[in-house]
Structure 1
């Protein structure tokens, strides 16, 4: 016969189990609702960014050239591709670098990964013949591959030097990159003064980041490289997110951390080169676009990666639109306006030691 004390103990145990189960259920329900609300919130932000990008695309598409009354959307459609692809590649490459290094100041243009291509372009212009149509076509075909090789080599050198510190990029490293960027630009500008007018124009356009119509070959190649890079990145995205969030957990799961790091670096280099052969050297666009995306989506890279590229397109597209439509007879290069907008934010990050 069971005593009253035993019955009471048994009842208490049942009640405790029920309370614990209820508490666990409430906790899990709360977590589920939190994740659900977060997902809906991020999806809403993502859709909003897409809508804004479409609006900017329409604005750029219907820009009229000074002196013309008719809208030349047929020609401007190529300009849309140039701005879109260059923005996506430049900002996403910076997004990858920032998440790898956990440094909001890291920027492919600032670190010299993009500006190294100015040196390669200068060397190519000095030694290659572009005096006739065939040689010009050969020169234009070689350039994208030259930039890809240059960006990959520069990335491997920069991150190879910092790999002992788990790919951390110090402020000294960033400041050195800024100095190199200005040095490369100064060298290319100096060299352009002794070149023929055709060679000088090519060099100055890439040096200043001129947004202009490109050959169909460049656009098709940029589309292919962009798709290739995004497919590659999203194929490692789950592991990449774990690695950039917690190396200890990544080790426990058996993830090859260094492999993920180097894959991210190479993807970033390819995208940097793609942006460079489309518009040249555009400083700080990647910095701003990547920072905004990381602020909006945090570690949700599924939305953050593509959103960062679209944010870059919105910034560059709007800047181009206002420059061409609000400033009468504007001779200002759109890409030179971006640093004026972004430099205060860059200085703010340095002062805040972020």
Structure 2
């Protein structure tokens, strides 16, 4: 009799458990689906906003009286403006992704490529190139400059990345603090060196230097454009393939080593990705300061430690900020004021209050 009662109890327990588990499963599924819905809405809104401002920049023009300018043939207007939009897209994605990788590697949410010296190494490379050419001799030097300058940016950024890796690695692993200290040191040295080198430039050379360093979306040569597109697409594809290993290393180096991953090489890989993307952004837009700090923080606030989501969202947010800055610059500031700004400067002024508001709201929710 006792055995029968025990059997009945076990049978009832087995029948009840699936019902209980099913209820818990429904609750967890409901929570998961709501979580995904919120993030899907956020992604859709961001992509639609990027598309909207891209079309606005191409097809909407406002004159000094605040009236809309009647467009010529829309096809001609698109052909004249689409390259600027592509520049903004590639620059924004490159800046956002590189800033996200740096913040995750250093565990410091106030770091981007403009604070650890990669950009200033590109500046030194550009100054050396300008010093080596004689722009007063004619168009040959100018054509040679346009052909060489994209490779100078890429090579300079790779050299900066290798320096950062060499000084921040340790015998068994990778030191995040050393990376920041080394970056700040490189930044200070490169600024001092750039100032001393710039004093030796001619007037024409200084003008060429300023035209490429100051963040702007001027016309680029076909070589610069296609080289940037090719490198950017290759890096994005590579990040998709390697993202599982990146996620493990960024989460915990000890676990990564126990799983047999080569932590040093993967960290070198991520630093080089960050460096090359910085070089790409320099080719397409010049020097853009501190925008990556805000974008990477906003992406981290919404998506946390999910590598691919946060990485792509950081790039999209940076792109959106640059598009909004370009719209304000071309249609409002140039027409209604006598001030002269470039897009990155306007973007930084617009982004700062948004960045502070998002961080404060997220902290209150937590």
User: Into which bin does the TM-score normalised by the smaller protein fall?
Assistant: 0.7 to 0.9
Partner of 1:299: 305
Matched, 1:99 2:116: no
Which secondary structure does the structure 1 equivalent of 2:176 belong to? coil
Matched, 1:221 2:227: yes
Q: 1:13 aligns with which of 7, 10, 14?
A: 10
Q: 1:311 aligns with which of 317, 324, 328?
A: 317
Pair 191,239 (structure 1): closer, same or farther in 2 beyond 3 Å: closer
Q: How does 1:1-354 map to 2 (within 5 A)?
A: 4-62=1-59, 64=61, 69=69, 71=71, 72-130=77-135, 131-164=137-170, 166-169=174-177, 173=181, 177=184, 181=187, 184=190, 188=194, 191-192=197-198, 194-327=200-333, 328=336, 329-341=338-350
Pair 263,194 (structure 1): closer, same or farther in 2 beyond 3 Å: closer
**Residues 119 and 188, structure 1, Cα contact 8 Å, conserved in 2:** yes
Farther off after superposition, 254-263 or 24-33: 24-33
Distance 1:35 1:137 in 2: 56
**Residues 96 and 292, structure 2, Cα contact 8 Å, conserved in 1:** yes
Pair 172,305 (structure 1): closer, same or farther in 2 beyond 3 Å: closer
**Residues 103 and 110, structure 2, Cα contact 8 Å, conserved in 1:** yes
Distance 1:166 1:282 in 2: 28
**Residues 98 and 107, structure 1, Cα contact 8 Å, conserved in 2:** yes
Distance 2:53 2:186 in 1: 33
**Residues 106 and 169, structure 1, Cα contact 8 Å, conserved in 2:** no
Farther off after superposition, 208-217 or 12-21: 12-21
Instruction: Extract unaligned runs of 5+ from structure 2.
Output: 72-76
**Residues 284 and 343, structure 1, Cα contact 8 Å, conserved in 2:** no
Instruction: Extract unaligned runs of 5+ from structure 1.
Output: none
Q: Structure 1 residue 7: deviation in Å?
A: 1.7
Which secondary structure does the structure 1 equivalent of 2:312 belong to? helix
Q: Structure 1 residue 290: deviation in Å?
A: 1.4
Distance 1:243 1:293 in 2: 19
**Residues 323 and 332, structure 1, Cα contact 8 Å, conserved in 2:** yes
Q: Structure 1 residue 38: deviation in Å?
A: 2.9
Q: Structure 1 residue 222: deviation in Å?
A: 1.3
TM-score by length of 1: 0.84
Farther off after superposition, 210-219 or 275-284: 210-219
**Residues 167 and 178, structure 2, Cα contact 8 Å, conserved in 1:** no
Measured against aligned partners, the alpha-carbon deviations of 1:14-62 in whole angstroms (never above 9, x if no partner) come to: 3334444444444444444443433333222111111010011112213
Q: Structure 1 residue 340: deviation in Å?
A: 4.1
| Matched pairs, number | 344
**Residues 285 and 339, structure 1, Cα contact 8 Å, conserved in 2:** yes
**Residues 214 and 278, structure 1, Cα contact 8 Å, conserved in 2:** yes
When the two chains are superposed, the root-mean-square deviation of aligned CA atoms in Å is 3.1
Pair 244,216 (structure 1): closer, same or farther in 2 beyond 3 Å: same
